[in-house]
Every structure is written in C-alpha cells, then in structure tokens.
Amino acid sequence: MMNNQGRPTNIDNVAALSGDRIDTFTGNQALEQEEKLIYEIGDTARSGVDLPDVPEAQSRLGGLERDGEIGLPGLSEPEAMRHYTRLSRQNYAIDMGLYPLGSCTMKHNPRLNEKVTRLPGLCDIHPLQPQSTVQGAFDLIDTLAHWLKELTGMPAVAMSPKAGAHGELCGMMAIRAAHDKAGEKQRTIVLAPESAHGTNPATAALCGYKVKAIPATEDGRVDLEALKAALGPDVAAIMLTNPNTCGLFERDIRKIADAVHEAGAYFYCDGANFNAIVGKVRPGDLGVDCMHINLHKTFSTPHGGGGPGAGPVVFSEALAPFIPVPYVVMNEDGFEMVEHVGESSSFGRMTAFHGQMGMFVRALAYMMSHGADGLRQVAEDSVLNANYILASLQDVMTPSFDGPCMHEALFDDRFLKGTGVETLDFAKAMIDEGYHPMTMYFPLVVHGAMLIEPTETESKQSLDQFIGMMRHLVERATSGDKDRFSGAPYLAPRRRLDETTAARKPVLRWTPEISAPNDTAAAAE
C-alpha cells in the first residue's frame, strides 16, 4: 500500500525507519529537497524584476534619504521559482489529502473561485474609487449579504470584519453598544462555556468584559442549570458555539436563548461550525442575536497557511442598528456605501476600507455553485461523513460522548491507556501514513481530545482508507509497538521539532549566525 505521498507504508522495523534516509552530499532525498533561506542564497545586488529607468527629477524627500544597506537579498526569477516551489513541497495541504482538523474545516477549494476573484473588475479596484465606478462591487457585496441573511434567518449583516475572531469582536461591540444605549452599564460579565474557542474569552476581554466559565454536562452540552444560576443583571451576553466544540448540537438551545433574553442579556453564537447546519437550520430561528460566519470555513475560501479569512456577522433586529461602518445601502440612484458614523447608532469602524472583498467573491462563487439545494446537501454530507467515521472507529477508539455527532467526531485518549502512547504520538504517526493529524487536545473538556472533521468533500473511498489507517495505528499502539509512535514522524520533511527550545530562546529572524546545522555542502569544503 502506498500513502498519498508515494512512500511505502508497510514498514515493520522501526530501526530501519530511522535509517530510511541515506546520507547524501546535498542533504536532499531525491524529490524531497532541502532549501536554504533566501538569506543564504540571495544577494542584495541581484533582482528578479526588470524595472524601467528612474526618470530625472529633483528629490522632495527633504533630506530623509535612506543610507546604509538594508540587507534584503534578491533572487533572480528562476531562483525564486525554485525556492518557493521547493518550500511548497514541504507543506501538507487539502489538495494533497484528507485534512481532518476538527473545528477548522478544511474542505476542497474550487479553482473557479480563484479564477473569478482575479477578474480585473473585481481585484483591480481601489476601495476609495468614486462610488459610481464600483457599482458591480457593491452589488456583489449586497448579494452575498442577502445569501447570508437568508441562510441564517437574520435581518442584518456586517460585512467588514476580517476574520472569525474579528467578527466576534464586532458582535460583542454591538452588544456593548446596545447595553450602553439602554443605560445598562452594570453588565460587565460575559458567560462562556468551558469548551469555548479561546478566541471567545479573548474577545470578551478585549471588549472590556470579565469572563465567567459555564461548565459542561456529562453529555458534552452546556449545563443549563449552571447557566441559569449565573445569569443576572450583571451579565451582558453569553458566547456559545453551536454546534459546539465537542461536535454536538446544543439540544437546549431554545431554552438557553430564552433564559438569556429573560435576564436582559444577548446571545452571541460562535458560527465557526455553521457548515454542519447550513441550509438545515437557521440560527435566527434558534434565538441567536448575533453570529459570525467564517467564510473561509463554511464557504471554502482557502486558508493559505493561516489566512486570509473573513468574518461577516449577522444580527437580530435588536442589534442591527449598531452595525459598524461601512455598509452598503440601495437608493434610487443605485448602491451607496455609508462610510461615516454620522447620525446613526453604529458603534464605529473596525477596519480601514470595507472588509475582505477577495474572500467575498470566493465565498459567493461557492454559494452560487452549490445553490440552496447544494448547501443543504453540504450540511447533510458533512454530518454523514463525521458520523460514518464515528461509527467505524467507535469499537477501537473511545468516543467521548454517546449519540450522533454533527460534522466532527470527538474521541479521547482512553483507548491508549496503558500503551505508553500519547495523543501527540498518535497524531505524529498519522503523518508517516501521509495524513495531516486531526485536532488534538481541544476541546479542553475531555482528556487527550482527538477531534476529527472529514468535511463533506471527502468521498466514501477516502474515508474508508482513513478509517483503515486509523484502525491499523490503534492496533499497533495496543499491541505494544510504542517506538513507532514515540519517534514519529520518521518520514516527514522534518522529525519532531523542539518547540521548547524555540520558545525558551526565541530566534525570530535571520542573522548571519543562523546557518543550517545540516549543511553538508559547507562541511565538505
């Protein structure tokens, strides 16, 4: 059997594994090539760009000319091509194989989206061009806003937040503004379940709130009684993820919403897991007051090694008046972008210009390709795939909770008990099998968490191979083959990296002292 990086996976002898690489002069291993830093191969006098001549003109820099070398290395175009191509080959990506990162949603990224995003009429326009020259762009934003409102059953949306966590901030600022306007400044506490994404408490704190944790029940949901006990005139809002980070739907969500509203607080829903319910359930019908939507998760805009994202926020009637500028409105002459707070009760501006247009285009292209029917199928297939994994692994791994999951399946490390294999080791062994590991140690409410999210774009064949691989690793772990795990990965571009030293003595930029310790070519000289 070959894994998806083309290496034989049937390696029985761990000793042979470490000797898998033969010593080469270059440090390269055939197609797997080492690549030095631009600082080790470039030259400040070299350039890969052929610029026109500098016209004659008198300087207006007022004596502020930069002198002295900056130290920026340049590469010729072919050198740059090789450098970045070689680097790219040291990355795992969804285009290469299953990427089961729970709570992150790594699904297929259609290239149609990239193509339309690069139409000059969409990418080569300036945010401060006269509004009359960008009516198509406003229409596009307005159309996307319409889709988001229909899919969530919410009447208003703020488009400008740049990412999910920025959207959280947007929602919490609107809540704060609404309370302030109502004269309820005593509301200083935000409730967040123990299982909340770390961004939730960080966001609440950034908004000036104190955070109070709400415990989870035995079955992985918010403890309704504990929540009710915590509610009071000092609570501004609850921040809840639904489906939650245990991969479960909050059964009591209507009761939670009612209790929160009765206490005069607002219900913020973290929408990171919206793809589990899109087209099946509208958050507006559940009593949500505001929710951010990670366009880069639910609607497939690529993550690009960490971003960019986009985090529009939908709002209920109660919070709609406070949404940040800028926003698009339609009037007799066409679309207009409202850019100033002016007379409105908007809480302000969250970013220069108006959000992540490039992500809007991709997300809308994805939505239109799927349509209302396809998006509903997205939710069903993502839930089906996750439950298929849960059902296929529950006899050998330990699911954390009973019953069906939503779009991600949560296991914990009880099945590894007594094997000497830790969750981390297990994950690193998956790398040798050609897979990106699942999310580990999150949510924090279960010990040694393993959160697996296959998404809807995986085929049954791909899931079956993944399941087979996982069963194989479980068998290895429980049969005492500990070394295979504790030393893993053996076959990746790097073995396990020393993160402790990196944090203790942080080296965050290149200096001449940082040379490659494995520079065999230099050693040979």
Site for another protein in 93-122 (CB under 8 A): 93-96, 99, 101, 104, 106-110, 112, 114-116, 118-122
Residue 10, φ and ψ in degrees, nearest 5 = -90, 70
- Rule CB under 8 A: is residue 187 a binding residue for another protein? no
Q: Tell whether residue 191 is a contact of another protein (CB under 8 A).
A: no
Q: Is residue 492 part of the contact set for another protein (CB under 8 A)?
A: yes
Q: Choose which of 193, 437, 443, 454 interacts with another protein (CB under 8 A).
A: 437
411 binds another protein (CB under 8 A): no
Helix (H) or strand (E) holding 473: helix 460-478
Strand partners, 192: 213
Q: Which of 11, 14, 206, 226 binds another protein (CB under 8 A)?
A: 206
The nearer residue to another protein, 77 or 417, going by C-beta atoms, is: 77
**Which of 3, 4, 7, 202: binder of another protein (CB under 8 A)?**
202
Provide the minimum distance between the beta carbon of 418 and another protein in the complex, in angstroms, as a whole number: 25
Q: Which is nearer to another protein, 254 or 417 (CB)?
A: 254
Residue of 268, 315, 322, 347 that binds another protein (CB under 8 A): 347
264 binds another protein (CB under 8 A): no
Dmax of the chain from CA atoms?
A: 78
Applying CB under 8 A, does 351 fall inside the site for another protein?
Answer: yes
Strand pairing class (210-214; 189-193)? parallel
241 SS3 class: strand
Strand partners, 267: 238
Q: Does 404 bind another protein (CB under 8 A)?
A: yes
Secondary structure element (H or E) that encloses residue 323, with its range: none
423 touches another protein by CB under 8 A: no
| SS3 state at 219 | coil
Task: Please answer whether residues 184 and 234 qualify as being in contact, where contact means their C-beta atoms are separated by less than 8 angstroms.
Answer: no
Binding mask 133-172 for another protein (x = CB under 8 A): xxxxx-xx------x--xx----------xxxxx-xx---
Pairing label, strands 398-399, 409-412: antiparallel
Q: At what angle do helices 357-393 and 135-152 cross, to 10 degrees?
A: 30
Residue from the set 195, 203, 275, 465 that interacts with another protein by CB under 8 A: 203
Which CA distances in Å does 243 have to 222, 299, 312, 408, 440? 11, 17, 18, 10, 18
Contacts with another protein, 357-386, as mask; x by CB under 8 A: xxx-x---x-xxxxxxxxxxxx-xx-xxx-
Q: How many CB atoms lie within 10 A of CB 480?
A: 11
Under rule CB under 8 A, residue 130 binds another protein: yes
Query: How many residues of this chain interact with another protein, rule: CB under 8 A?
Result: 209
Residue type, 323: I
- Count of residues for the chain? 525
For residues 216-245, which are near another protein according to CB under 8 A?
none
For the segment 29-68, give every residue that binds another protein (CB under 8 A): 35, 37-39, 42-49, 51-52, 54-66
- Residue 474 CB, nearest approach to another protein (Å): 18
| Residue in 182, 181, 234, 190 with CA at minimum distance from that of residue 208 | 190
